[in-house]
Structure 1
Amino acid sequence: MPNVLGRVRRPPFRLTLNTDGRPHTLENALALSTLVLGLLAIVTGFVVSLHMVASWVGAIGFCGGLYAQYVSVTTPQRSLIICGLVGSFVGAALGIAHGGFLPTG
């Protein structure tokens, strides 16, 4: 039991999506783009005049996020994807509630 008497060395904190040690460039790009689309959808969803942007960006982010979740490899990727999916869904719902996918006249 050497760890009882000595200090336990912990690795330094690193912010990474590749927790398995292998690069996943496509999966990381999908996770980050889902997060960005979700943030854009939820922000524009609160502005009534941007209902068309919120609806389309939310729908694209949601569909893309579902595919990203399907091909994701690591847990941090899945965490970002879920945040993006929720943002996309809420943004799309707000956009649809404020006028939908087509411009109102």
Structure 2
Amino acid sequence: MPHALGPVENRPFRFTLNSDGQAHPMQNVMSVGTLVCGLVAFVTGLVPDSHVVASWAGAVGFVGGLLSQYLSATTPERSLNIVGIVGSFVGAALGIFHGGFLP
């Protein structure tokens, strides 16, 4: 454990989805899209009058999130996918409870 006695490097925090050093543009876009759909579905699911948006955004985010999780290459992408999938599921469930997919 020579690193335990050596000097500590303070690197600035930098958020990246490409933790393996390679670019994954399609997977990154899918992960962020899943997160956005999940947030939209969850927020609109809390408002009973927006049940159509919540239901559709939740369904699209859930299915897209599962596909994105299947294709993901790094752990940060998978983390965003899980947050987006859960938000999509909850938003879709609330949207269906408040009235479903059709106005």
TM-score range, shorter chain: over 0.9
Q: Partner letter of residue 45 of structure 2?
A: G
Map of 1:52 onto structure 2: 52
Q: Partner letter of residue 15 of structure 2?
A: L
- The TM-score with structure 2 as length reference comes to 0.93
Q: Partner letter of residue 56 of structure 1?
A: W
Map of 1:23 onto structure 2: 23
Rate the CA distance shift 1:62–1:7 in 2: closer, same or farther, 3 A: same
Map of 2:79 onto structure 1: 79
Per the TM alignment, residue 10 of structure 1 is displaced from its structure 2 partner at its CA by 5.2
CA distance in 1, matches of 2:74, 2:102: 37
RMSD over equivalenced CA pairs, Å: 1.5
Larger radius of gyration: 1
Matched positions, count: 103
- Which blocks of at least 5 consecutive residues in structure 2 are unaligned? none
- Percentage identity across aligned positions? 63
Per the TM alignment, residue 9 of structure 1 is displaced from its structure 2 partner at its CA by 2.9
CA distance in 2, matches of 1:60, 1:102: 15
- The TM-score with structure 1 as length reference comes to 0.91
Cα deviation, 1:11-62, whole Å, max 9, x if unaligned, reads 4422100000000000000000000000000000011010011000100000
